[in-house]
Structure 1
């Protein structure tokens, strides 16, 4: 068993840097944050669950609602300074401002770190194949993994996100957790067992995913800027570079294809439509599986930390006892306990004080 008091002291800088570096470069500044309510057992209070924007059916009103949800999943404007904003900040205080409180709450607990990739470890870019993380970020993640079991949980194909990150000491949960691989090097607890890939709950869907991929490639040829990404156990239809005036057409094309595949479901992320097997498995399921694999599922002395920025990360935020951090440039509905709203000035101050 790890001596957590020693680990907390040694790893404080690594975890601080990993959290601080993940902030997007924005001029949005948030005022001083109140202290969060921390229960006696160290758990953080949960927020109201958000509604998943998934689609099922047609009709003119349904189409308009679908287009509206596409816009809502891809916000471009910052919120103004209103009473609502102040209320939001009270419920989602700054992870950087509250870092010492978080560390105090974690004392005596074993930390497990879960990180989204796009928008968290890398910037959001027009071409998803060029969402590269910086060397600085890679070293920060490597530092965290020295002390804590660390996993990347992404909607991307596991092999692709592994190629972006290039760290063998991490767990990788690709395709929204449908494809999980253990570390090939690192702590003994992380390398327990000989299996490399050890969780693929939707293998029977692979032929269907490939079939739908080919159909969508053909359909999207006629929508300028659309890009279809095969993430092995799921598909992503990116519309970041598509004129908003034809988002409705794109959405209808995708929905029309999926009418013939009732065992696949459609959900949304930041300017992307996600197609996944309709099974009860998501990023939250992946977290629960990894915690169980590490022997932490029945432990009261573990503090799982999840940092993410997208709708699919909300599934992970809902996992019991998780400490969750929402990265965003604007206020939005979230189950995240803490936020990072683009604190460019605060990040510099925080990182300088953590060296």
Structure 2
């Protein structure tokens, strides 16, 4: 007898379906109320009016195709995260890029307009790490930011409240950044801490600690160990424990093995319905299935800084990943500040502006800090 998952049953509620296996002499009939009746017969009776007869063999084949389609959809999404797989011709890519830049102009080219729109408001800076402050590298443990970028971010933090919002755990990203005057929101905002020292934008930084998913820590550790074991046969795969989430990096995995890697990850997660699977740039992310993301972390930090319902705040969020879209959308909904997407290629985004790579991010942040320092000197003369 053919068995059905709850998902397959729900898909059949719109019509009555009878599945027959004439060789086995077993008839399974699913009626519209989703109850399943089975009967044994030497010959299948004629299908009643309103019923559709489907062979078990054909149904199983269709289910395999459906499951394969879901896997293929994920693989296509994984492939899309790599700009080198764009199939368009050079001329059409150029046209697409030109059109996209009209809607998402360079933040460097629009710097003066950005400054004009922020006048009279407190600028607050939010920065992703990988692909924003540091280049994307094959080994995630070697995603070091340059000394020049560190100096630029330090100058920025002296002028504006500045936060790093990343999928990495706080300890790892702090070892890369090494700046105590910043706010850090690790694990996609599930672990938030204030500056240890050096920030003039908070009175009691030690009290700024928020972990909305602390109850998931034992589960995350358990799944991490299983994923390490499951993926060890996939050359190039790297599993990273980011405390409140897990990252499965496939940047160094042969593309032919992506579907197998995805299947292995899913096989582990099927036993953990309280965790969800999402995707970033060449990485699969496993996170607690709660309503918390980088956008929520942005709102929490603004509220902690006293800007929850203010109209005189100007948040700027810079990031390159799909997970940063949650923050871009929040800013768009608030109608305050804007998002900047770091990308050399056109992408669907809620960001208002764009920058092509971390070197442009550094130039933009440097100009912001310089503008603020000049403004302060001018104000002191008045």
Into which bin does the TM-score normalised by the smaller protein fall? 0.7 to 0.9
TM-score by length of 2: 0.73
Instruction: Say if 1:116 and 1:307, in contact at 8 Å, map to a contact too.
Output: yes
The aligned counterpart of 1:119 is 131
Q: Is the partner of 1:124 in helix, strand or coil?
A: coil
Measured in 2, the distance between the counterparts of 1:335 and 1:210 equals 33
Measured in 1, the distance between the counterparts of 2:327 and 2:144 equals 23
Measured in 2, the distance between the counterparts of 1:296 and 1:265 equals 31
The aligned counterpart of 1:249 is 260
Q: Deviations over 1:213-244 (max 9, x none)?
A: 00001011110010000000000000000000
Instruction: Say if 1:74 and 1:269, in contact at 8 Å, map to a contact too.
Output: no
- C-alpha change, 1:166 and 1:64, in structure 2 (3 Å) is same
Instruction: Say if 2:130 and 2:136, in contact at 8 Å, map to a contact too.
Output: yes
Q: Is the partner of 2:185 in helix, strand or coil?
A: strand
Measured in 1, the distance between the counterparts of 2:365 and 2:327 equals 26
- TM-superposed CA distance for 1:144, in Å, is 0.5
Measured in 1, the distance between the counterparts of 2:344 and 2:262 equals 25
Q: Deviations over 1:75-119 (max 9, x none)?
A: 225774544332211110011100111011111000000000000
The aligned counterpart of 1:218 is 229
Higher percent of residues as helix: 2
Q: Name structure 2 gaps, 5 residues minimum.
A: 1-65, 372-382
The aligned counterpart of 2:176 is 164
The aligned counterpart of 2:109 is 97
Measured in 1, the distance between the counterparts of 2:153 and 2:167 equals 19
- C-alpha change, 1:346 and 1:151, in structure 2 (3 Å) is closer
Aligned mate of 2:272, from 247, 253, 261 = 261
Aligned mate of 2:238, from 202, 227, 230 = 227
How many residues were matched structurally? 296
Aligned CA RMSD, in angstroms, stands at 2.3
Aligned mate of 2:211, from 179, 194, 200 = 200
Which protein, 1 or 2, shows the higher relative CO under an 8 Å CA cutoff with sep ≥ 6?
Answer: 1
The aligned counterpart of 1:328 is 343
Residue 311 in structure 1 maps to residue 331 in structure 2: no
Measured in 2, the distance between the counterparts of 1:121 and 1:227 equals 22
The aligned counterpart of 2:84 is 76
The aligned counterpart of 1:152 is 164
Higher percent of residues as strand: 2
- TM-superposed CA distance for 1:348, in Å, is 8.1
Measured in 1, the distance between the counterparts of 2:358 and 2:167 equals 26
The aligned counterpart of 1:285 is 296
Q: Which contiguous aligned blocks of 4+ residues in structure 1 show a shift greater than 6 angstroms?
A: 343-352
Aligned mate of 2:194, from 172, 182, 195 = 182
Deviates more, 1:59-68 or 1:161-170: 59-68
Instruction: Say if 1:156 and 1:175, in contact at 8 Å, map to a contact too.
Output: yes
Instruction: Say if 1:305 and 1:322, in contact at 8 Å, map to a contact too.
Output: yes
The aligned counterpart of 1:60 is 68
Q: Is the partner of 2:84 in helix, strand or coil?
A: coil
Q: Is the partner of 1:229 in helix, strand or coil?
A: strand
- C-alpha change, 1:69 and 1:349, in structure 2 (3 Å) is closer
Instruction: Say if 1:77 and 1:330, in contact at 8 Å, map to a contact too.
Output: no
- TM-superposed CA distance for 1:189, in Å, is 3.4
Measured in 1, the distance between the counterparts of 2:211 and 2:130 equals 22
The aligned counterpart of 2:118 is 106
Measured in 1, the distance between the counterparts of 2:288 and 2:359 equals 39
